Structure 1
Amino acid sequence: MTAGLAATAAGTLVVAALTAHTAVNAGRWLRRLPAEPDPAGDPAGGTPADPDPAGDRAGGTPSGPDRPAERVAVLLPLRNEADRVAPCLRALLAQRGGPELDIVLLDDGSTDGTAEVVRRVAAEERAAGSPRPRLVTGAPLPAGWLGKPYACQQLAGHADPAATVLVFVDADVLLAPRAVAAAVAGLRRADVTLLSPYPRIVAETAGERLVQPLLQWLWLTFLPLRAMERSRRAALAAAGGQFLVVDRAGYAAAGCHAAVRDRILEDIELARAVKRSGGRIALADASALASCRMYGSWAQLRDGYTKSLWASFGSPVSAAAVLAALLALYTAPPLLAVAAALAGAVPVALLALAGYLLGVAGRVLSARRTGGRCWPDALAHPVSVALLGWLTFRSYHLRRARRLSWRGRPVR
């Protein structure tokens, strides 16, 4: 066997093993928050049953053993979200299947009329007799803090003191009517301190469809979910800040968002802080209950990833090593297959083609499990990985040049 054939065979075997790991994670270990309640009810913490076929808005009188007895505070940080906050807020106000929610929004120095939009929606609610939601104005950003951790820290301080669960939601998330009740039930059933119910990521433009599916694919492929839940290692952690559910006592024990005040990936770092304090974390597929379109244009997507990718890998050396491996395993095979076929090296071409198709299969498995789009997007998986490499390079370059910023604030 020639060196080229051996190297191609080895790479294909690695991709096969990673795709098998994706299948195991997706099929066995990834928790799921179902769209419909369990008709039998699950007082132990499953999805709440609904004895009232017509449903009830959150804030109705709880009834039945399936209804969560604890108080829940839903916390929404806002900075220049005037174009998205109204649908998000109305979805929160339409929550049902649980007790009344304390909904608190914090305007973090918005300049686009975000607060005015919230006040209009709040006025509609008050006209209907509801005291919700509450809008608070954020304090100036102190030295040593990044914007989102400080906004979340303030929100936690404004939450109902009787709330035992805090639910952090971003303005680009749309929740189904039972999402909060199901997420809180999922937190308790998993017996964890922090649950990250991952929403379905909406991708409409070509750039979004190339990049956004990598979020779920990366952790389903490379993160051992079962070990993450069981292990006390803080490094073995993942979370998504778009929709985050945390036990309040455990959140306090972890140091709240003050523990991650200067972290650009505050969601993952909060999960690690929870682990360091002795708590446990879990991921769940919430694609049937929540959706999120994180970026509305290529420029927003590019800048959003650029601001944070450097923090995902650590040192530039680590980033270079990881990206080199990803490019070799997922981007090189189709190129090698064509080159080998043209050169008449049929065995190499066939092995490289198999490696490419196995990579596509992993992408399909991830998309199917998390509500994503499979075809024809998965066929462009090599391009997606190459684009991730470029965005990472850009992130390190702009960080070194001290030119990283997000929503009008510098990222240090």
Structure 2
Amino acid sequence: MPRASRRVPCPCGRLRRVSALTWTALVSLGAWLWLLLCQGFFWRTDVRLPPRPRPPREPESWPSVAVVVPARDEARVLPLSLPTLLAQDYPGHAEVFLVDDGSTDGTGALARRLAESHPDRPDGPDGPEHGPPHALPLTVDTPGDPEPGWTGKLWAVRHGIALARARSDPAFLLLTDADIAHGPDSLRRLVSAALTHRLDLVSQMARLRVHSPWERLIVPAFVYFFAQLYPFRRVNSPDSRTAAAAGGCVLLRTETAIRARVPESIRHAVIDDVTLARAVKRAGGGRIWLGLADGVESVRPYEGLSELWRMVARSAYAQLRHNPALLLGTVAGLVLLYAVPPVAALSGSLAGAAAWAVMAGTYVPMLRYYRQPLLLAPTLPFTAALYALMTLDSAWQHYQGRGAAWKGRTYTKDAR
């Protein structure tokens, strides 16, 4: 009798699985190469305000500026931030308007005490051009509860702008958050850039605090993802429709704010900085500039994951316009860009390894900007997974009716 032939297992199924993973890795690599070369060089960190020239080439007459600071329960950070605003080395007239947005921790009273205890600066060795001899004057007021249709921050900004215009009708408005500390020449550099380049809006993304392990893991990636969505070079191009700003530090021409009906036209916005920039760019082709900051820093601590999680989740789904299709597309995109490369690389795929290398390489400049170890670059897929979960949680909170919750207030809609 003939011997039974031994059945050799067909490798087709395994080959198909390997081929599918390889093809997906190739698609991911192609996407990363496109991002590297065609997405406005988002990964570069050299979009900064020019350093103050020496000798300074400055205007003969400096315009007046009102600094508007919305503050809600900020007693923890105010001693580190408000004195830096009061000590601004600005040759023109400038005032600080802190709007206490219903604080329960004594923010307004603390602000007044800080102003009273702030030491006056003597003139510089070569005369008063080295800075005003006194601290900037401070006005503290409260607007009461927001009217329907307003977010609390923009309601406070509206009140601060109204106070400033009633007092002196300033040429510029500096909108800055209560947790932002400014270097002594911050206001001077912002105004100089606006005058020199005829800009309607100048915004710097403050350097966020990076001390705790979770801050090191999440904060640089937060700025990296923001730049990927809104490449600074495209934002700064008059020919581009891309618009964005960083709400912690925005210098805005008053006439532009009036023309764009700010903040009334954006009163619902949870993501107020991006919405503000869009309003300015739409209003007669306003010119805007956005870049990374030197000398403008956030002093707000995020010691644990839960605090960082809330910071991202409160507005992530609003960024997607509360659109389920955009949510699914975003999660799928995160999987393709950030999950596929390491999985494929660990399975022996050269395309996956190459995609992971390109990804890590684009993250290196941001880690350098934040003075973090470059060994964190390959961990970006893990951080991206956290951001995907934060975005899904943001959507879940929205559909549970909790929307964007922040400091005791909940906003369910972002009318952008």
Scaled to the shorter chain, the TM-score interval is 0.7 to 0.9
Aligned to 2:380: 381
Is 2:100 the partner of 1:107? yes
Report the TM-score, using the length of structure 2 for normalisation. Answer: 0.84
What letter corresponds to residue 213 of structure 1 in structure 2?
P
Return the letter of the residue paired with 1:38. P
State the AA in 2 paired with 1:174. A
The residue type equivalent to 2:358 in the other structure is L
Q: Contact 2:86–2:135 at 8 Å: present in 1 too?
A: no
The answer on whether the counterparts of 2:22 and 2:344 sit within 8 Å (CA) in structure 1 is no
Using the alignment, how far apart are the partners of 2:358 and 2:147 within structure 1?
49
What letter matches 2:282 in structure 1? R
1:198 aligns with 2:205: yes
Q: Is the CA contact 2:194–2:201 (under 8 Å) kept in the aligned structure 1? A: yes
Aligned-pair CA distance for 1:220: 3.1
Structure 1 residue 68: deviation in Å? 5.6
Supply the distance in 1 between the matched residues of 2:250 and 2:61 (Cα, whole angstroms).
18
| Counterpart in the other structure of 2:263 | 257
Matching residue of 1:56: none
Per-residue CA distance 1:286-342 (angstroms, 9 max, x = gap): 1x211114452332221222211111112121122022112211222112221x23x
Say whether residues 1:73 and 2:80 are aligned partners: no
Shift of 1:233: 6.6
Question: Aligned-pair distance for 1:12?
Answer: 1.1
Contact kept in structure 2, 1:22 and 1:220, CA below 8 Å:
no
Where in structure 1 are there 5+ consecutive unaligned residues? 44-64, 342-347
Separation in 2 of the partners of 1:126 and 1:366?
37
Cα pair distance change 1:367/1:100, threshold 3 Å: farther
Could you tell me which amino acid in structure 2 is paired with residue 409 of structure 1?
R
1:164 is matched with which residue? Answer: 171
**Alpha-carbon separation, structure 1, partners of 2:120 and 2:90:** 23
Distance 1:332 1:207 in 2: 24
In 2, distance between residues paired with 1:190 and 1:374? 36
Which SS does the other structure have where 1:212 is aligned?
A: helix
| Aligned match of 1:344 | none
Residue 83 of structure 1 corresponds to which residue in structure 2?
76
Distance in 1 between the 2:20 and 2:200 partners? 50
Residue 53 of structure 2: which of 31, 38, 41 is its match? 38
Q: How do 1:115-134 residues align onto structure 2 when only pairs under 5 Å count? A: 115-125=108-118, 132-134=137-139
Structure 1 distance, partners of 2:371, 2:256, is: 32
SS in 1 for 2:290: strand
How many Å separate the matches in 2 of 1:124 and 1:77?
21
The amino acid of 1:195's aligned partner reads V
The answer as to 2:26 corresponding to 1:9 is yes
Task: Provide the residue aligned with 2:400 in structure 1.
Answer: 401
Residues 19 and 361 in structure 1, CA contact (< 8 A), matched pair in contact too: no
Contact (CA 8 Å) 1:197, 1:283: kept in 2 or not? yes
Identity of aligned residues (%): 26
1:207 and 2:214 correspond: yes
Is the Cα contact below 8 Å between 1:251 and 1:274 reproduced in 2? Answer: yes
Q: What is the deviation of 1:275?
A: 1.5
**2:94, 2:136 within 8 Å by CA — same for their partners in 1?**
no
CA contact (8 A) 2:345 2:353 kept: yes
Tell me, yes or no, if the aligned pair for 2:210 and 2:370 is still in contact at 8 Å. Answer: no
The Cα shift of 1:177 comes to 0.7
**How many residues were matched structurally?**
377
In 2, distance between residues paired with 1:358 and 1:26? 11
Letter in 1 for 2:142: T
Q: CA deviation at 1:269?
A: 0.6
Q: In the TM superposition, what is the alpha-carbon distance from 1:136 to its structure 2 partner?
A: 0.9
Supply the RMSD in Å over aligned alpha carbons: 2.4
Cα contact 2:243–2:274 (8 A) shared by 1? yes
Q: Name the residue aligned to 1:271.
A: 277
Residue aligning to 1:327: 335
Deviates more, 1:215-224 or 1:202-211: 215-224
Alignment of 1:135-284 (within 5 A): 135-159=140-164, 160-231=167-238, 236-278=242-284, 279-284=286-291
The gaps in structure 2 that reach 5 residues or longer are 1-17, 122-133
Counterparts of 1:256 and 1:161 in 2: how far apart (Å)? Answer: 18
Cα distance 1:23–1:246, how it changes in 2: closer, same or farther (>3 A)? Answer: closer
CA distance in 2 between counterparts of 1:209 and 1:4 reads 32
Once the two structures are TM-superposed, the CA of residue 209 in structure 1 deviates from its matched residue by 2.3
Pairwise CA distance, 1:2: 4.0
The amino acid that maps onto 2:137 is R
Cα distance change on mapping 1:71 and 1:126 into 2, 3 Å = same
Cα 1:150–1:157, aligned 2, differ >3 Å: closer, same or farther? same
Any idea what the Cα deviations from partners look like across 1:367-390, whole Å, max 9, x if unmatched? Answer: 33x445352332210011111100
Instruction: Report the secondary structure of 2:270's partner residue.
Output: coil
Q: Which position in structure 1 is the counterpart of 2:41?
A: 24
**Which residue identity lines up with residue 246 of structure 1 in the other structure?**
L
| Alpha-carbon distance in 1 for matches of 2:40, 2:238 | 21
